């Protein structure tokens, strides 16, 4: 789903805000757009806004509702484009034309008849769409909640006191790393590569971080390096990340030869541990090119590859994959308590305990889902709200079909409108893209996502959201 399909609630708000601007209202009055037509548009706005939360949730289970959202999306963005044209014309008139002959100049300077017709047609479309709510069974005021989720590129840094469970897995993986291993001698690599495989959100990165920072690992290896790979398997950038991680120094060059030689010299005759986090590529050529600097190292060196992809495990692994399973319920509950209540503790909100345990069960042992929902629910410690989240239809969506865990989709669904569109806009950039905060703020402002508030600039509002 691309960003403009996902966030109609704030789009409707922006449309209404533009309509209420003085310049646009002046032009509409000049063109004799009737007050009744404007009232119809306002009523349509309020109706569509009221039921949109329910529609966004039901669209995944009801194709008719999905079609309704598509119709509303097209109408809203066409209306927004039309109002942008009006705003531009209003500004031009304000700067260039004599205010005393404003009405006459506006009428003669533009095809106001065609534009007036477009506006009235859009009002009719939005009014028609609003009337379909009863046929589709859409209800108003289905939610009022807040939450936020963010995923950054991984690093080996870890706050150990906030890790729950995974003790057995940690010990098993450390044992594999510190011991000699009989690996597949038919493979190109003379050292051991251990694929750490599991579904998204199950905690592969966290387990790798726990192991990477363990004292026994620090003592067993001469040098360690970590690189977050993700979708874009760029040998130059991955090699540079490893060199920077191992030396704690930045390298600005894009020369693969220089970077590989630097890593080759660093690993020479040393026992190293490398973690390559979140690999997706199944290319033999890419993998073999990445391995070139590693051959100078000690043959007892180890590489951990984290991935969801069986194909990646097949290509990279010299040992059988270590398959990470769901976290046990006790560890999940401890993790949830930490994120939902923090230092406040559950004792002040005992009425939420049973609901919270049911929500944890629905997360199916996935730590990422538990952390995300726990953080979201922490913002509103209310029985009715927690019950609403527990009973949401979004839990039942097939995650494979929509490529998003239901629990994470649920947390996105509950973002406040002013953040939802800004958040979804970021999806047009590739995974792992490094945003410049100021540039992103300017893009949000250019798209009209940020509205000014008295005595607070749009830049200040945007920086708070970012």
Among the ranges given (59-63, 104-108, 295-299, 425-429), the one the predictor scored with the smallest mean pLDDT: 104-108
pLDDT for 146:
33
Confidence of residue 398 (pLDDT cuts 50, 70, 90): low
Contact 300, 183 (CB under 8 A): no
275 has a pLDDT exceeding 90? yes
Q: Is residue 156 part of a domain?
A: no
Contact 16, 45 (CB under 8 A): yes
Of the candidates 371, 375, 377, which has an alpha carbon nearest to the alpha carbon of residue 392? 377
**Could you tell me what percent of the chain has a pLDDT over 90?**
27
217 has a pLDDT exceeding 80? yes
pLDDT for 30:
63
pLDDT for 385:
87
pLDDT for 28:
66
Give me the mean pLDDT over the 113-129 stretch: 78
Look at 421 and 187; give whichever has higher pLDDT: 421
Note whether 313 and 353 are same-domain residues. Answer: no
Note whether 7 and 100 are same-domain residues. Answer: yes
Two tokens, residue 68: 């309704």
Q: To the nearest whole number, what is the mean pLDDT of the chain?
A: 77
Q: How far apart are CA 214 and CA 212, in angstroms?
A: 6
Note whether 70 and 44 are same-domain residues. Answer: yes
pLDDT for 358:
92
Note whether 230 and 292 are same-domain residues. Answer: yes
Note whether 317 and 337 are same-domain residues. Answer: no
As a dihedral over the C-alpha atoms of residue 122, residue 127, residue 132, residue 133, rounded to 10 degrees, the angle is: 120
148 has a pLDDT exceeding 50? no
Q: Is residue 416 part of a domain?
A: no
Note whether 27 and 90 are same-domain residues. Answer: yes
Residue finishing a domain among 268, 303, 323: 323
Residue finishing a domain among 323, 342, 363: 323
pLDDT for 402:
43
Note whether 457 and 438 are same-domain residues. Answer: yes
Residue finishing a domain among 273, 307, 323: 323
pLDDT for 80:
74
Confidence of residue 237 (pLDDT cuts 50, 70, 90): very high
Q: Is residue 406 part of a domain?
A: no
Q: Per the structure, how many domains does the chain have?
A: 4
Note whether 97 and 43 are same-domain residues. Answer: yes
Q: How far apart are CA 5 and CA 52, in angstroms?
A: 13
Note whether 393 and 437 are same-domain residues. Answer: no
Confidence of residue 27 (pLDDT cuts 50, 70, 90): low
Of the candidates 337, 399, 3, which has an alpha carbon nearest to the alpha carbon of residue 201? 399
H helix runs in 97-214, sequence order: 102-109, 112-131, 133-136, 167-178, 204-212
Contact 206, 158 (CB under 8 A): yes
Note whether 314 and 336 are same-domain residues. Answer: no
Residue 273 backbone dihedrals phi, psi, to 5 degrees: -120, 125
Contact 315, 284 (CB under 8 A): yes
Q: How far apart are CA 208 and CA 155, in angstroms?
A: 10
Among the ranges given (83-97, 167-181, 251-265, 271-285), the one the predictor scored with the smallest mean pLDDT: 83-97
Give me the mean pLDDT over the 42-62 stretch: 74
Confidence of residue 33 (pLDDT cuts 50, 70, 90): low
Note whether 236 and 343 are same-domain residues. Answer: no
Note whether 313 and 373 are same-domain residues. Answer: no
Residue-number span of the structural domain to which 449 is assigned? 429-466
Among the ranges given (46-60, 133-147, 266-280, 336-350), the one the predictor scored with the smallest mean pLDDT: 133-147
We report the CATH number of the domain holding residue 309 as 3.40.50.300
Q: Is residue 160 part of a domain?
A: no
Q: Is residue 349 part of a domain?
A: yes
pLDDT for 168:
93
SS3 166: coil
Radius of gyration of the chain (CA): 28
Look at 336 and 84; give whichever has higher pLDDT: 336
Look at 301 and 161; give whichever has higher pLDDT: 301
Q: Is residue 18 part of a domain?
A: yes
Q: How far apart are CA 351 and CA 101, in angstroms?
A: 67
Among the ranges given (107-116, 160-169, 210-219, 248-257), the one the predictor scored with the smallest mean pLDDT: 107-116
pLDDT for 211:
94
Q: Is residue 154 part of a domain?
A: no
| pLDDT tens per residue across span 341-393 | 886 777 778 889 999 999 999 888 888 888 888 888 888 888 998 998 888 76
Return all residues near 365 (Cβ < 8 A) that are at least 6 apart: 202, 325, 326, 327, 328, 329, 332
305 has a pLDDT exceeding 90? yes
Look at 418 and 328; give whichever has higher pLDDT: 328
Of the candidates 371, 319, 79, which has an alpha carbon nearest to the alpha carbon of residue 196? 319
Look at 133 and 49; give whichever has higher pLDDT: 133
Confidence of residue 400 (pLDDT cuts 50, 70, 90): very low
Give me the mean pLDDT over the 49-61 stretch: 73
Q: Is residue 195 part of a domain?
A: yes
pLDDT for 24:
65
């Amino acid at each position: 789903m691309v960003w403009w399909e996902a966030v109609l609630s704030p789009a409707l708000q922006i449309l209404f805000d533009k309509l209420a601007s003085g310049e646009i209202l002046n032009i509409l009055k000049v063109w004799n757009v009737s007050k009744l037509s404007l009232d119809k548009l306002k009523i349509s706005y309020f109706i569509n806004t009221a039921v949109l939360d329910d529609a966004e949730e039901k669209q995944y289970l009801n194709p008719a509702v999905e079609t309704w959202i598509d119709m509303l999306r097209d109408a809203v963005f066409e209306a927004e484009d039309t109002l942008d044209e009006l705003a531009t014309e209003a500004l031009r008139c304000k700067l260039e034309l004599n205010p005393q002959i404003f009405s006459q100049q506006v009428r003669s300077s533009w095809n106001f008849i065609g534009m007036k017709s477009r506006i009235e047609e859009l009002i009719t479309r939005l009014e028609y769409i609003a009337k379909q709510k009863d046929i589709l069974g859409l209800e108003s005021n289905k939610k009022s909640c807040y939450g936020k989720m963010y995923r950054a590129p991984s690093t080996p840094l870890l706050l150990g006191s906030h890790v729950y469970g995974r003790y057995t897995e940690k010990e098993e993986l450390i044992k594999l790393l510190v011991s000699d291993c009989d690996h597949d001698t038919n493979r190109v690599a003379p050292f051991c590569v251990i694929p750490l495989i599991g579904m998204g959100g199950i905690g592969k990165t966290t387990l790798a971080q726990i192991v990477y920072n363990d004292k026994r690992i620090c003592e067993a290896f001469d040098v360690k390096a970590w690189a977050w790979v993700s979708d874009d398997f760029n040998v130059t950038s991955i090699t540079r990340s490893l060199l920077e991680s191992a030396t704690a120094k930045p390298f600005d060059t894009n020369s693969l030869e220089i970077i590989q030689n630097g890593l080759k010299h660093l690993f020479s005759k040393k026992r190293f541990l490398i973690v390559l986090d979140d690999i997706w590529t199944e290319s033999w050529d890419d993998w073999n090119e990445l391995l070139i600097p590693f051959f100078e190292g000690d043959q007892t060196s180890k590489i951990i590859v984290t991935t969801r992809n069986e194909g990646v495990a097949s290509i990279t692994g010299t040992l059988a994959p270590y398959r990470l399973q769901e976290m046990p319920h006790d560890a999940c509950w401890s993790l949830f308590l930490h994120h939902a209540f923090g230092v406040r503790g559950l004792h002040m909100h005992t009425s939420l305990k049973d609901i919270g345990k049911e929500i944890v069960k629905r997360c199916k042992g996935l730590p990422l889902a538990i952390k995300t929902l726990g953080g979201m629910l922490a913002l509103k410690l209310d029985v009715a709200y927690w019950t609403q989240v527990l009973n949401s239809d979004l839990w039942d969506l097939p995650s494979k079909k929509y490529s998003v865990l239901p629990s994470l989709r649920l947390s996105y669904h509950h973002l406040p409108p002013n953040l939802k569109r800004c958040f979804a806009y970021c999806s047009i950039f590739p995974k792992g893209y490094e945003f410049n905060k100021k540039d992103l703020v300017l893009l949000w402002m250019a798209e009209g996502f940020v509205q000014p508030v008295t005595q607070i600039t749009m830049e200040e509002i945007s920086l708070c959201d970012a």
